[in-house]
Chains A and B, each alone.
Chain A
Amino acid sequence: MTALLITAVSLLIFVVIFQISKASEYVAILKGEEHSRKQNNKINGFLMVVFLVLGLIGVWYCNEVLYDKTLLPQGSASVEGERVDSMLWLTLAVTGFVFIGTQIVLFWFAYKYQESENRKVVFFAHSNKLEAIWTVIPAIALTVLVVIGLRNWFLFTGEPPKEAMVVEITGKQFGWIYRYPGKDGAFGKKYYKNIDNASNSLGLIWDDQLAHDDLVMEQTMYLVKGRPVKLIIGSRDVIHDVGLPHFRMKMDAVPGIPTTMWFTPKYTTKEMKEKTGNPDFQFEISCDQMCGNGHYSMKGIIEVVDQAEFDAKMAGQSPYYYTAFPDKDPANAQKDTVKLVAKPVELASKVTAKL
């Protein structure tokens, strides 16, 4: 019923607009077309300036309303992302200046030089000097932006610091799988034909000893505040994208071609909750590459914690090997696993203490 009503009302508005427009055409013919053309010209010339003023107010108002909803007020949550933000501000300054300047000139000229009987048009076909000016100045401004941009680009895409931890992240329709290398600090090999959703979601090759202590998780990825992290990114099916807006980072996950990205988290999730004043705050991983009809629901969570909390979290995880082969899990074989696991660690610490 409402739909019908809306259609009827819109139709009515259409008819009214059309009738008025037609009537104005008749009036124009009666009054003399030249006369009414000039009148229209004045009205539209005036509206050009009105549009300019209202437009600039609109730009200001839009900024008032929306600025706080962007990521800019809270700043970057990664050390490297700060460079993105500073670059962004500089680019905004340059383009904003040009934007306001040229729009004012455009609409002001349109208003000022509207048809008038007294004006004699200036035959001004070219000027090498002017053209040289507006070739060279943009070229210089852009060179500056390119130089700054490329320095950041090579930093972002270059090698991470040596102390960086490494986490593997794999996209699938529609979720993320994370893998940590475990105690040996190295990932085991994998082959996609070994993938089995129930017991081997990444297709790890169990013949490879290095795979035995690898930790595989879904839902949440844990990272350490202040410690650089290198993500090794892959996909199981179609192209996905690891989008980390808070860290100002993003990289595609391409099946068959691993990619990488690194950054240094600056705040823990807890600190971000206070900083943003949002108790529900989370670092979300959004899939940024169209990956199917569930694309919009492909969410991952990153929880940034401090080192101690991270160590505790990792210690609580059982290697994925034991999910695949539950019978080999010491936790199932003996009840006192905790001691067994704890002992070597204690021994190791004693050794280092003696040294």
Chain B
Amino acid sequence: MSNEAVLHAPAGAGLHHEAHGDHHHEHHHETFISKYVFSMDHKMIAKQFLITGMVWAVLGGLMSVLFRLQLGYPEASFPWLEDILGKWAEGGKITPDAYYALVTTHGTVLVFFVLTAGLSGTFANFLIPLQIGARDMASPFMNMLSYWFFFAASIVMLSSMFVEFGPFSGGWTAYPPLSALASASPGSGTGMDLWLIAMALFVVSSLLGGLNYIATILNMRTKGMSMTRLPLTIWALFFTAVLGVLSFPVLFSGFILLIFDRNFGTSFYLSDIFINGVGALPNEGGSAILYQHLFWFLGHPEVYIILLPAMGMASEILSVNSRKPIFGYMAMVGSLFAIAILAFLVWAHHMFVTGLNPFLGSVFVLLTLLIAVPSAIKVFNWLTTLWRGNIRFTPGMMFSIGFVSLFISGGLTGIWLGNSALDIHLHDTYFVIAHFHIVMGVASMFGMFAGIYHWFPKMYGRYMNNTLSYLHFWITLAGAYMIFWPMHYQGLAGMPRRYYDYSVWESFKQFAELNRFISTVAMIVFAAQLLFLFNFFYSVFKGRKVTTQNPYGSNTLEWTAPINPGHGNWVGEIPEVHRWAYDYGKDGQEFISQTTPVGADESSH
């Protein structure tokens, strides 16, 4: 590569030269397979993650519509259900077996396949090289493997839905002994075997991806891009990857022990069990609680694996569209760091009512509520970022504002649940469902939508339709609140999660009408997501073309790349960075790109 030629030639000539020099060989060998299937281009892999994630989001969302149908209309029968589900909906009514299979698969798929792979898989792949100024990931090959392991996991998970006794049906947390014993639940047979294989493949995918993200961020930043000049998206994705790399192996070890208990007669999790129709099992001395510790050691960081990328993207998008620097950059990084550390120290707050040692429980209360401090810092910093800005309501911006609103609403109920004495009452009720769906599910989904809308022009060189986007936003935001807000009240009535039918319960049957309302709204919101999907795929092919390199007037490096960047991202030299990513509105200038050298008379902040 002849740097001098680029530096000394006029810009246009440099582009020309590079296009034919450096990347010449790559363009020649690109076939359909190498470009769209086994691609090693991080941008293509990101799109693969995104679209696979979308497929799962539709399936997972559809599952929730189906089981909400049962909850909302427990008396009704829908003949068309039998047409599509067969024996799982005999007489047009979803069976309890099918209901629990749907609930379980909905949870697994949304948490892991959509909000982990679909969210951080997409945006870590897409944004890390583009925003740090690298041509690709540290290991494009590992990156490709990461996607294909995820794909394999998807296939196995999908296939588990077609086995005789159905997919696993013991809840996404898969607590043994229920998940260990096929005799305790039909879904714990072949369905669970496939579930475990799919999850094992998923862990491999996640580790391959995570290691790559960390290596790339640490080693491949362009000249001048010190860690403290990174956009907050990259910081968030960095901590996300660290969390995943440190905690997924622990989950994997938990799964290995479970596989041993299921297939090889060990008693890691099993003890003192008598199953109706089978009799007493020989296993003694195991601890069912051990699994919960191993599971939640991932399970809690997993919540932040899902949430941090959304936080990072919201921070970036809020700043860009407020035309103002993000408030308290270092505090934002510091609070991400604090959250990442605390994420490892709070897992047992999911286990307050397992008979956990009360002293141990009290330590976890303290550490859990400590997370509220960095979270509060983030919220107030976001609000201050908006203050006296000049806000442009792009769809990405609106979803970021929605994200902040949902993060506040769902985060505050965490203070209720993290306090063990209060958790005793609210644990495993609809209050918990409301809490984690708002703060982790919908909020992260909003982060994902924000990211998709914001970076769509960079991904496909086209714009999405704004009217459809706005409609999608308002229906989803209002719908999400209408679905999950009233669930707090059900939780305050002690209504347990994961019930197929509440009508025989004197304590919970007063919510029949509310359940119907929630189910109806859920269906409308699901339909609005189809609107989004249509908008997405239509715009990929037919959207308005992007004509300027930097449509948002944004500082970060991805907007210095060509409108449709090829493999390698920048034609010519990789840009050099001279400043942080948030010089918006400084010295009367609307924005100053990271590649602009610091002027002599520029004020310092």
Residues in A lying within 8 Å of B, measured CB to CB: 3, 10, 14, 17-18, 20-22, 24-25, 28-29, 37, 40-41, 44-45, 47-48, 51, 55, 58-59, 62-63, 66-67, 69-72, 81, 83-84, 87-88, 91, 94-95, 98-99, 102-103, 105-107, 109-110, 113-116, 119-127, 130-131, 134-135, 138-139, 142, 145-146, 149-150, 152-154, 156-158, 172-173, 192-193, 195, 197, 203, 233, 236-239, 241, 243, 245-246, 248-252, 254-260, 278, 280-282, 284, 286-297, 299
Report the bound CA distance from A176 to B495 in whole Å.
Answer: 19
Question: Is the CB–CB distance between B415 and A142 below 8 Å?
Answer: yes
Question: Is the CB–CB distance between A69 and B468 below 8 Å?
Answer: no
Contact partner, A106, options B365, B405, B419, Cβ 8 Å? B405
Apart from A69-B493, A245-B429, A296-B500, what 18 extra A-B contacts exist at CB < 8 Å? Answer: A24-B466, A25-B544, A55-B481, A66-B486, A113-B322, A121-B390, A125-B582, A131-B381, A146-B365, A172-B274, A238-B176, A248-B424, A250-B424, A251-B353, A252-B353, A255-B270, A257-B287, A291-B178
CB distance from A14 to the nearest CB of B (A): 7
Report the bound CA distance from A121 to B582 in whole Å.
Answer: 13
A67, closest chain B residue (CB)? B489
A240, closest chain B residue (CB)? B178
B30 neighbours in A (Cβ, 8 Å): none
A67 neighbours in B (Cβ, 8 Å): 489
A69, closest chain B residue (CB)? B510
- Cβ-based interface call for B541 (8 A): no
Tell me which residues from 568 to 592 in chain B have a Cβ below 8 Å from any Cβ of chain A.
582, 584-588
Subset of 20 A-B contacts with CB under 8 Å = A17-B471, A18-B468, A55-B481, A84-B425, A110-B401, A113-B391, A114-B391, A125-B326, A126-B331, A134-B380, A153-B421, A157-B358, A237-B276, A239-B177, A245-B425, A252-B353, A255-B270, A294-B96, A296-B499, A299-B505
Residues in B lying within 8 Å of A, measured CB to CB: 78-80, 96-97, 100, 169-171, 173, 175-178, 181, 184-187, 270-276, 280, 284-289, 322-331, 353-355, 358, 361-362, 365-366, 369-370, 372-373, 376-377, 379-381, 383-384, 386-393, 398, 401, 404-405, 408-409, 412-413, 415-416, 419-422, 424-425, 427-429, 465-468, 470-471, 474, 477-478, 481-482, 485-486, 489, 492-502, 504-508, 510-511, 514, 527, 530-531, 534-535, 544, 582, 584-588, 605
Total of A-B residue pairs, C-beta within 8 Å? 380
Contact partner, A134, options B376, B527, B587, Cβ 8 Å? B376
Question: Is the CB–CB distance between A41 and B392 below 8 Å?
Answer: yes
A116 neighbours in B (Cβ, 8 Å): 390
B416 neighbours in A (Cβ, 8 Å): 88, 91, 95
Question: Is the CB–CB distance between B327 and A125 below 8 Å?
Answer: yes
Question: Is the CB–CB distance between B325 and A125 below 8 Å?
Answer: yes
Contact partner, B489, options A70, A131, A243, Cβ 8 Å? A70
CB distance from B13 to the nearest CB of A (A): 32
Report the bound CA distance from A282 to B508 in whole Å.
Answer: 11
B274, closest chain A residue (CB)? A195
Question: Is the CB–CB distance between B386 and A106 below 8 Å?
Answer: yes
Question: Is the CB–CB distance between A121 and B584 below 8 Å?
Answer: yes
A113 neighbours in B (Cβ, 8 Å): 322, 386-391
Report the bound CA distance from A189 to B109 in whole Å.
Answer: 44
Question: Is the CB–CB distance between B481 and A84 below 8 Å?
Answer: no
Question: Is the CB–CB distance between B383 and A102 below 8 Å?
Answer: yes
Question: Is the CB–CB distance between B401 and A70 below 8 Å?
Answer: no
Q: Which of A122, A130, A146 has the most chain B CB atoms inside 10 A of its CB?
A: A146
Contact partner, A252, options B96, B354, B384, B535, Cβ 8 Å? B354
CB distance from B126 to the nearest CB of A (A): 25
Question: Is the CB–CB distance between B324 and A126 below 8 Å?
Answer: no
B178, closest chain A residue (CB)? A238
Question: Is the CB–CB distance between A292 and B358 below 8 Å?
Answer: no
Report the bound CA distance from A304 to B429 in whole Å.
Answer: 24
Q: A66-B514, A124-B387 are in contact. Are A293 and B499 (CB under 8 A)?
A: no
CB distance from B396 to the nearest CB of A (A): 12
Q: A40-B470, A102-B408, A286-B496 are in contact. Are A254 and B355 (CB under 8 A)?
A: yes
Question: Is the CB–CB distance between B386 and A110 below 8 Å?
Answer: yes
CB distance from A293 to the nearest CB of B (A): 5
Q: A47-B474, A113-B386 are in contact. Are A284 and B505 (CB under 8 A)?
A: yes
B169, closest chain A residue (CB)? A293
Question: Is the CB–CB distance between B271 and A293 below 8 Å?
Answer: no
A62 neighbours in B (Cβ, 8 Å): 485-486, 489
Report the bound CA distance from A28 to B482 in whole Å.
Answer: 32
- Majority SS of interface residues in chain A? helix
B393, closest chain A residue (CB)? A44
Report the bound CA distance from A250 to B356 in whole Å.
Answer: 13
Report the bound CA distance from A288 to B175 in whole Å.
Answer: 13
Question: Is the CB–CB distance between A292 and B170 below 8 Å?
Answer: yes
Contact partner, A297, options B425, B470, B504, Cβ 8 Å? B504
B361 neighbours in A (Cβ, 8 Å): 153, 157
A197, closest chain B residue (CB)? B276
B355 neighbours in A (Cβ, 8 Å): 233, 251-252, 254, 257-260
Contact partner, B412, options A83, A99, A131, A292, Cβ 8 Å? A99
Question: Is the CB–CB distance between A256 and B287 below 8 Å?
Answer: yes
Question: Is the CB–CB distance between A103 and B405 below 8 Å?
Answer: yes
Question: Is the CB–CB distance between A83 and B421 below 8 Å?
Answer: yes
Interchain residue pairs A-B with the least CB separation, the first 8: A245-B494, A256-B271, A259-B355, A121-B585, A152-B421, A157-B358, A149-B419, A296-B499
Q: Which of A48, A66, A241, A249 has the most chain B CB atoms inside 10 A of its CB?
A: A66
A153 neighbours in B (Cβ, 8 Å): 358, 361-362, 365, 420-421
Contact partner, A3, options B78, B186, B270, Cβ 8 Å? B78
B181 neighbours in A (Cβ, 8 Å): 237-238
Q: Which of B285, B422, B481 has the most chain A CB atoms inside 10 A of its CB?
A: B422
Question: Is the CB–CB distance between A203 and B274 below 8 Å?
Answer: yes
A242, closest chain B residue (CB)? B353
Report the bound CA distance from A125 to B328 in whole Å.
Answer: 6
B497 neighbours in A (Cβ, 8 Å): 288, 290
CB distance from B489 to the nearest CB of A (A): 4
Report the bound CA distance from A243 to B310 in whole Å.
Answer: 35
Contact partner, A239, options B288, B390, B409, Cβ 8 Å? B288
Q: A124-B384, A238-B181 are in contact. Are A250 and B280 (CB under 8 A)?
A: no
Q: A14-B534, A157-B358, A251-B355 are in contact. Are A22 and B412 (CB under 8 A)?
A: no
A149 neighbours in B (Cβ, 8 Å): 365, 419-422
A14 neighbours in B (Cβ, 8 Å): 530-531, 534
B353 neighbours in A (Cβ, 8 Å): 241, 250-252
Report the bound CA distance from A113 to B481 in whole Å.
Answer: 24
Question: Is the CB–CB distance between B390 and A146 below 8 Å?
Answer: no
Question: Is the CB–CB distance between B178 and A24 below 8 Å?
Answer: no
Q: A51-B478, A256-B271, A286-B494 are in contact. Are A21 and B100 (CB under 8 A)?
A: no
CB distance from B324 to the nearest CB of A (A): 5
A142 neighbours in B (Cβ, 8 Å): 369-370, 372-373, 415
Question: Is the CB–CB distance between B184 and A295 below 8 Å?
Answer: no
Q: Which of A102, A152, A248 has the most chain B CB atoms inside 10 A of its CB?
A: A102
Report the bound CA distance from A255 to B271 in whole Å.
Answer: 6
Question: Is the CB–CB distance between B586 and A123 below 8 Å?
Answer: yes
B413, closest chain A residue (CB)? A95
Question: Is the CB–CB distance between B354 and A192 below 8 Å?
Answer: no
Question: Is the CB–CB distance between B506 and A287 below 8 Å?
Answer: no
Q: A3-B78, A48-B401, A254-B354 are in contact. Are A245 and B421 (CB under 8 A)?
A: no
Q: Which of A63, A250, A278 has the most chain B CB atoms inside 10 A of its CB?
A: A250
B502 neighbours in A (Cβ, 8 Å): 296
A29, closest chain B residue (CB)? B544
B389, closest chain A residue (CB)? A113
Question: Is the CB–CB distance between A290 and B498 below 8 Å?
Answer: yes
CB distance from A60 to the nearest CB of B (A): 12
A25 neighbours in B (Cβ, 8 Å): 465-467, 544
Report the bound CA distance from A173 to B491 in whole Å.
Answer: 24
B171 neighbours in A (Cβ, 8 Å): 290
Question: Is the CB–CB distance between B419 and A193 below 8 Å?
Answer: no
B582 neighbours in A (Cβ, 8 Å): 125
Question: Is the CB–CB distance between B494 and A192 below 8 Å?
Answer: no
